[in-house]
Homo-oligomer: A and B are copies of this chain.
C-alpha cells in the first residue's frame, strides 16, 4: 500500500522533529499502526510488530505508544473493562459505538453532539478540552 508508506514517513518526520529517535523497533510499530484498520491493543500491536522486527518487546510497544500519544499522533481509548486500544490520530475526530456482544468497534461522528457538548461546557463556565463518548449497543434484531 503506497499510502501507508507515505504515512509512515510522515510519522517518522513528526517524531524526529519532536526530538524522538526513529529506531528499528519504532519504525515497525509505526508501520503496523499506519496500516491498522481496527483498534488494536498493546499486545495485538506487539504481535503484529514482531512479524516485521522480531526483537520488538512489549515494553517498547508501550513506550512508543506513550511517546506517540504525547506527540498527538496516536490516540488511546479505554473502553469499558478492556485493555487500552490505540489508533492513529490522522482521521478527523470521531466517537465509537461498541457492540457489546462481539466487541466490534464502529466509528461515527455527530456534529450536533459535538456542538451540544461545547455548549453545555460553556453554560457551566467551562471550556471543553476533550471528551469521551462511547455507545455500548446490541445489534438490532429483525
Contacts and interface: CB of A to CB of B under 8 A. Distances in A.
Q: On chain A, which size bracket covers the interface?
A: 20 to 34
B137 A126 contact: yes
Contacts of A131: 133-136
B120 A135 contact: yes
Interface stretch (A10-18, A38-46, A60-68, A105-113): A105-113
Contacts of A99: 126
A117 interface: yes
A101 B63 CA distance: 25
Contacts of A110: 116, 120
A129 B34 CA distance: 32
Contacts of A124: 97, 106, 108, 137
A127 to B, nearest CB: 5
Contact of A117 (B120, B132, B135): B135
9 contacts: A97-B124, A112-B112, A112-B116, A113-B113, A126-B135, A126-B140, A127-B138, A129-B137, A132-B136
Interface of A: 78, 80-81, 97, 99-100, 106, 108, 110, 112-113, 116-117, 120-122, 124-140
